Amino acid sequence: MNARIAVIPGDGIGPEVTKEAVNVLKVIEEKFAHKFEFIELDAGGCAIDKYGECLPKETVNECKKSDAVLLGAVGGWQWDNLPGNQRPEMALLGLRKELNLYANLRPAMLFPSLANACPLKPEIIQGGLDLLVVRELTGGIYFGEKGIKNTDMGKTAYDIEQYSETEIRRIAHTAFSMAKVRNKSVTSIDKANVLESSRLWRSVVTEVAKEYPEIKLSHLYVDNAAMQLIRNPKQFDVILTSNIFGDILSDEASQIVGSIGMLPSASLADGNFGMYEPVHGSAPDIAGQNKANPMAAILSAAMMLSYTFNLTNEANAIETAVNSVLEKGYRTADLFCNEENTTLLGTKAISSVLCSLL
Ligand code: IPM
Ligand code: MG
């Protein structure tokens, strides 16, 4: 297969981890006789420094010409005082919107050898954890009208949460299709006891569910869901939720599977196009120190192989290699807790062990 992959390293630990993900893809290329062309592009804080804007038009155009995008992370303290609409994070939101990446898949799986990194009691996670957060990514409060006005209470800022039936319907279809090939259960998470947008969400999801009689649908309020994720995470298979609730719950899910350093994501448009990125951010505190866990970026590359290119064997090979690295006791700092038979490794070293196991 020939593929054109746009690579956006971004800021902080982004460049370190994407570099390792690309290295892994190069090994796959060789082993499985594919031809990947990598095009490196700027976005985020580094683009602000270079061009004065976080998302140059060129970056968007090149992404559109590619089959898939691999992204590291954006943001950092250097740009924290910029006005909201000029922050590096706007690059991410801009890419999601411009590329119509409305479906965000964030699988949270507990690798057996990381059971000790999970903060929950062993009996709660007995038998493992494997859930998928399906987060709506191009609507809701992230993209609603926002602003600041003067009122008799002083300056008043607002961000509007709004969802259309079309937006809810398409992400619901994504969640149900995912559940079909998993454990056939969808939990839709909203705040329908308070929010009008959540009530529409709930009714559209219930409507769509009728097309998937084999899938069990339940609804939870987001506050309860946050609690249930800790109390009994095994009750979840596919979690379907809005942009902002998905942002929050996926970080929570990441901790119960050990570390956010292990969580990959896929952001999908209609068709096969997708952008793949680790869920962790730019982690400026450890940037450039060869400490970051590259697994989330590497697993994101695996998701790319499977979702955009349909290369399931290749994707499985990467996941198996990640598992072997962990089984052999290799850990980056985020996962290292001085257990017997474990070795602390840096970003580059753990990735080269992984490549050698592929
Ligand atoms: C994420 C991040 C982003 C989000 C930020 C960096 C804009 O937290 O992908 O989860 O809120 O979507
Ligand atoms: Mg987040």
List the pLDDT tens digit at each of the 358 positions of the chain.
Answer: 999 999 999 999 999 999 999 999 999 999 999 999 999 999 999 999 999 999 999 999 999 999 999 999 999 999 999 998 899 999 999 999 999 999 999 999 999 889 888 899 999 998 889 999 999 999 999 999 999 999 999 999 999 999 999 999 999 999 999 999 999 999 999 999 999 999 999 999 999 999 999 999 999 999 999 999 999 999 999 999 999 999 999 999 998 988 889 999 999 999 999 999 999 999 999 999 999 999 999 999 999 999 999 999 999 999 999 999 999 999 999 999 888 999 999 999 999 999 999 9
Are 303 and 105 in contact by the 8 Å Cβ rule? The answer is yes
Residue 306 is predicted with a pLDDT of: 97
Q: Which two tokens stand for residue 63?
A: 């992404």
In the chain, CATH 3.40.718.10 covers: 1-101+293-358, 119-256
Neighbouring residues of the ion ligand 2, judged by CB less than 5 Å: 247
Give the pLDDT of residue 310. 97
Task: State the closest ligand 1 atom to the C-alpha of 251, by its place in the atom list counted from 1.
Answer: 10
Question: Is the shortest distance between the CB of 278 and ligand 1 below 6 Å?
Answer: no
Which residue minimizes the CA distance to atom 4 of ligand 1?
A: 247
Q: Which residues are part of the catalytic machinery?
A: 142, 191, 223, 247, 251
Tell me the pTM: 0.96
Check residue 258 and give its pLDDT: 84
Strands 185-190 and 68-73: unpaired
Atom 11 in ligand 1: residue holding the nearest Cα: 247
pLDDT of residue 84: 86
Closest CA to 17 of 297, 325, 207: 297
Q: What is the CATH number of domain 1-101+293-358?
A: 3.40.718.10
Give the tokens for residue 136.
Answer: 């709506």
CATH assignment, 119-256: 3.40.718.10
**Which ranges in 67-164 belong to alpha helices (H)?**
89-98, 122-125
Closest residue (by CA) to atom 9 of ligand 1?
279
